Structure 1
Amino acid sequence: MMEAGGRTLRVATWRLDEQSDHPPILFFNGIGANIEAVAPLAEQLPERGFVMFDMPGTGESPDPTVPYNPFTMSWAAKQILEQLGLEDVDVMGVSWGGAMAQHFALQYPKATRRLVLVATTAGMLMVPGNPAALTKMANPRRYIDPNFMNEHFQTLYGGIDRDGAEHQKDSHIGRLKPPSPRGYFYQILAMLGWTSLPALPFLGKETLVMMGDEDQIVPLINGRILASAIPNAQLEVFRGGGHLFLLTHADEAIASLRKFLDAPATDAELARAA
């Protein structure tokens, strides 16, 4: 547990005490998701450090007493990095966390090396997903009822199974812990009225936008919008991938992530470093 931004937050780190040629990844999770839900991603990148935290009212972080917004939570994330002695990181976010990742990179460009946006949007200015999926997404039973998740997994997350996804799906369900009602509500509230779209043309970071072409919650067009608005962005589409393609297409996703993060520094990055 760490104190940051006037809040107590549960923080997880991987391999920060190990020598590495790569900056750590600061990861922002999806709405309502706890650290354990995405912990396997950190394990699949053993050459990198990793930092992740539970949002207020999710996982083991205490309930928020007052609402927050992307600015205040980016400030809290920056304080966590400072307490860990980290000056710059690669920033990654999935779904709701992808919006947080965009805001952090815009708010703290000097702390951000590269940016990875997964199954996400530019905020309120988005093309909405399948109403059936969005309705089930809002049902808290998806966190506490494995039968509900199994029954509606295809509607919720779309995509075809690869990489042993049936086993991974069951494992994923077992790692979920429901957020508190207040924690979930405040996460929704945090993004009301927020959009990154006007600022994205000024986001001078190499950016990888990863999208599934069968995502029922965040349609592919939203990734195309992000990639066209960010000057140094590249779009990678995972065929047959739904909202959880990081799970169902794990091998492909990790390979794509490594290729992007390990690519040599661009002239613009070298100029900024100088």
Structure 2
Amino acid sequence: MPTAHVNGIDLNYQLEGEGPETIVLINGLADALESWDFQVPALLDAGLRVLRFDNRGIGASDAPAGPYTSRLLADDAKALVDHLGLTDFHLMGVSMGGMIAQEYALAYGSDLRSVTLACTYAAPGPFCSRMFSMWGDLAPALGVPFVMRDVTLWAFTVPFFSDRPDEAKEFEEAMAGLEMPVDAYLSQLNAIQTHDTTDRLATLTVPTLVLAGEVDILIPTSLSHELHEQIPGSSWATVPGGHACIWEHPDPFNSTLIEFVRAHSH
């Protein structure tokens, strides 16, 4: 895959499709661009051109010393789309990617036709802050793969483990085999720990969909709904599943996203 030297680092990216409308996808914590494999075929079939990339700290992108912030990662995304000459596009971010997308929409809203914020929040609050503090303590002691094994239990629903054991095992093995240095993980973790757009969301004018898994317990659905309530005129939708709804139930997730994008296309 190609790389672009932007914002002082090399970012690994993949740009696919020939459609007249472009959607840019931003990954979550410790997720490389392959995390969108369950979305990209549907987006391409819908006639969209799709850009996805590895955030700094993951995959084949550079992992400079941190800590990182959601605004820094948004500036990386801005530098990449400028490098590629992309304008007037749709933006989708999930989890940490949704935090990055908020910062992007607030800083560079004129670039966007729409923004979708999935499984994310305006600020972590006391529950998520405690969880992330534990991850930060666990990673140096037991390694990032151990933490990701724990994340699997938070991200998927109980029926996924009982009804689809082969898929569950596949995801567990992928997360347990994650090759991400502890320093890079902690640098990305800082972005979700310090993210806070609460006092600025009222100024957001980009057409916005806030999307959540119905039973998300990692970033509770209620936090996503609070985000929706803080963005004037935003749309709200839920889909089956929890925090990993993009993988556990991709079809309803994809159709909800595509319907919103089409409503705000040329």
CA distance in 2, matches of 1:26, 1:138: 33
2:206 maps to 205
Output aligned runs, 1:99-178, within 5 Å: 99-124=99-124, 126=125, 128-129=127-128, 135=134, 144=145, 149=149, 153-158=152-157, 160-161=159-160, 166=165, 168-173=167-172, 176=175, 177-178=178-179
Distance 1:44 1:167, change over 3 A: farther
* Cα offsets for 1:156-214 (capped at 9, x unmatched): 4336449x965554554565533221111111223443311111111011111111232
Amino acid at match of 1:44: A
CA distance in 2, matches of 1:100, 1:117: 9
CA distance in 1, matches of 2:51, 2:30: 17
Q: CA RMSD in A?
A: 3.0
1:96 maps to 96
* Cα offsets for 1:235-264 (capped at 9, x unmatched): 11224x211111112111111111111115
Secondary structure in structure 2 of the residue aligned to 1:45: helix
TM-score (norm 1): 0.81
CA distance in 2, matches of 1:36, 1:4: 21
Amino acid at match of 2:9: R
CA distance in 1, matches of 2:30, 2:217: 18
Question: Displacement of 1:39 after TM fit?
Answer: 2.6
Deviates most, 248-257 or 129-138:
129-138
CA distance in 2, matches of 1:93, 1:54: 13
TM-score (norm 2): 0.83
Distance 1:214 1:130, change over 3 A: farther
Question: Displacement of 1:26 after TM fit?
Answer: 1.3
Q: Gaps spanning 5+ residues in structure 1: where?
A: none
**Across the two proteins, how many residue pairs are aligned to each other?**
257
Are 1:28 and 2:30 an aligned pair? no
CA distance in 2, matches of 1:28, 1:196: 17
Q: Gaps spanning 5+ residues in structure 2: where?
A: none
CA distance in 2, matches of 1:142, 1:113: 40
Distance 1:216 1:236, change over 3 A: same
User: Displaced runs of 4+ in structure 1, greater than 6 A?
Assistant: 130-134
Distance 1:71 1:144, change over 3 A: closer
1:45 to 43, 54, 57: 43
Greater helix proportion: 2
Distance 1:237 1:10, change over 3 A: same
CA distance in 2, matches of 1:6, 1:174: 33
